[in-house]
Structure formats: C-alpha cells, structure tokens
A = this chain, B = another copy of it.
C-alpha cells in the first residue's frame, strides 16, 4: 500500500475539499483527485461523497480517518522529536568516566551543561578505564573520559585538559618540599600510589622505569581523594594530579615534593567510537569540554 496516497486522503479529509488539500500538498487538484480514487480502488471502498462544495467522508472514510489522523500525528511528533534532538531540546548522554575525573573534572562541567540544556538527560557510570572501553564498544555509553595516552584503532581521542602529576605529602615530610629532590631520595620514603589497574599508575610506573628506579609502594589506593587523605595523615608521599590539589597546596594542607627528574605532563581526553556518529547532544558536550576550567578541592 502506497503511503503517499494516505497523505492525499488525510489532507482531503481534513479540509473536506480536494482543491484545498492540493494547495497544502503543493500539487495540483487532479493529482489529489486521482490519488483518492486510487486509494478507494485499492481499499475497494468509497471514502468520500463528492459534492459541488467539496467532499464529505463516507462512514467508512470516517473510520479510516480516525486511524490515519492518529498515524499522521505520530509521524509528526516523531519528526518533531528528531528536530528537538538536533536542537538539544531532547535526548540523553551516557558517559563513562573514572571516579577521580568524575569528581574533579566532570561534575562541575555537567552542572553548567545542565543549565544550558536542561532537557538533556545525563547518565554517568564510573568504571575503570578498560571498563569504559568495553562499554563504549558495546554501545552502552556515548563517550568516555580517560587518562591519555591510550591506543585503540576503533576509537577517536581528543585531549581536553593537560594535567601534571606531582608528589605531595603532609607535615611529617614537609622538609622535603624545600627544594627539588632526586627521585632516588623520594622513593626511600613510604609511597602512596594508585592501584595497578589504572592508566595513571601505568604512566607513573613508566616514569619510574625511565628514571631507572624500582618502586614498591607502601599503599595502593583506589582514587586520588584517598591518596590525599593518606598523605595528610602522614602515611608517606603520594603521587597525584597537581591540577586537582592546587587548593590544598595553597592553603598549606599539603606540600609538594618536587623531583629533580621532572614528571612529564599528560592529558585527560575524551574518547568515542570511530565508526559510530555521536548524537548531537554528545557532540555538543564534547565540544564544550575542552573550554572548561577544572575546579579544586
């Protein structure tokens, strides 16, 4: 059954007038006239009484119209929703992000995004980096926020923030912060590092390796907040992202222990599937991420 015929039927029924319908359809009257005739033939059923003032639905036409009318309003709302999606008036974004980045980077940003686009629903899930990659590839999230570098053929990456790792400590080892220390000195103190499954830990391990030191941390913790807490309570020297502890350093609650061998800076990035187009909402959020300033503790 040709759906185009129903378009003629719909407008003709709506206006009770084939000529009016043809105007709204931007085609000529005979075209509509014939479409209706064709529909009537295919349904084997007259749908309109023809009069000299227009047309009137037959009882059968009336019945059909009830359904066709509904059908068309569904199509129309469907199209409206799609246009809303494009205009960020409707939609949802699913984000995968680690605990730390969620707290220190994403949350403040989400707050802004939400005030700009209140109709967009946002889901956040906080697994490890490999978990994020899996969720991405199985289509469960739109994009992930991870620590770079990361290599994957199927993924796009975009740096959204440059971060600098650093060593921090509490009162007990404050003296070390007076001047830069050789890495070999630093590692003689108790060390607080992230757990082995994190990308950040891989990065810092690489740094130790590059500088030919072998490290066995005294504590391996799940996120930066815990590292900071342990450092404050003088359990040792923690390796954390400096950008996220600036306030603690300024207010003298933590002290930076600078190694002579500089830790290279690295990047936080957003990543998404190459072969899958992003939704307009996700695109919008990603494009905003890079311009956004992180906040402190």
User: Which residues of chain A have a CB within 8 Å of any CB of chain B?
Assistant: 1-4, 6-7, 43-46, 49, 56, 58-60, 63-64, 66-68, 70-72, 74-75, 77-79, 81-83, 85-86, 90-92, 139, 275-277, 279-280
Q: Which residues of B contact A44 (CB under 8 A)?
A: 86
* Distance (whole angstroms) from the CB of A78 to the closest CB of chain B: 3
Looking at the complex, which one of B60, B86, B275, B277 makes contact with A85 (CB distance below 8 Å)?
Answer: B60
> In the complex, A56 Cα to B86 Cα: how many Å?
19
Q: Would A60 and B3 be within 8 Å (CB), given that A45-B86, A67-B81, A71-B71 are in contact?
A: no
Q: Decide: A67 and B63 in contact? CB cutoff 8 A.
A: no
> In the complex, A85 Cα to B56 Cα: how many Å?
18
- Copies per assembly: 2
Q: Which residues of B contact A49 (CB under 8 A)?
A: 275-277
* Interface secondary structure of A, over-half rule: helix
Q: Decide: B63 and A81 in contact? CB cutoff 8 A.
A: yes
Q: Decide: B86 and A75 in contact? CB cutoff 8 A.
A: no
* Distance (whole angstroms) from the CB of A115 to the closest CB of chain B: 23
Looking at the complex, which one of B74, B275, B279 makes contact with A58 (CB distance below 8 Å)?
Answer: B279
Q: Which residues of B contact A56 (CB under 8 A)?
A: 139
Beyond the given A3-B3, A71-B78, please list 14 additional residue pairs across the A-B interface where CB-CB is below 8 A. A43-B82, A44-B86, A45-B85, A49-B277, A58-B276, A58-B277, A60-B82, A60-B85, A67-B75, A68-B75, A70-B71, A71-B74, A71-B75, A74-B74
> In the complex, A71 Cα to B63 Cα: how many Å?
16
Interface centre among A46, A75, A85, A91 (most CB of B within 10 A): A75
Considering the complex, give the chain B residue whose CB is closest to the CB of A91. Answer: B59
Q: Decide: A6 and B75 in contact? CB cutoff 8 A.
A: yes
Looking at the complex, which one of B2, B43, B64, B78 makes contact with A64 (CB distance below 8 Å)?
Answer: B78
* Distance (whole angstroms) from the CB of A85 to the closest CB of chain B: 5
Q: Would A45 and B82 be within 8 Å (CB), given that A59-B92, A70-B74 are in contact?
A: yes
> In the complex, A34 Cα to B85 Cα: how many Å?
23
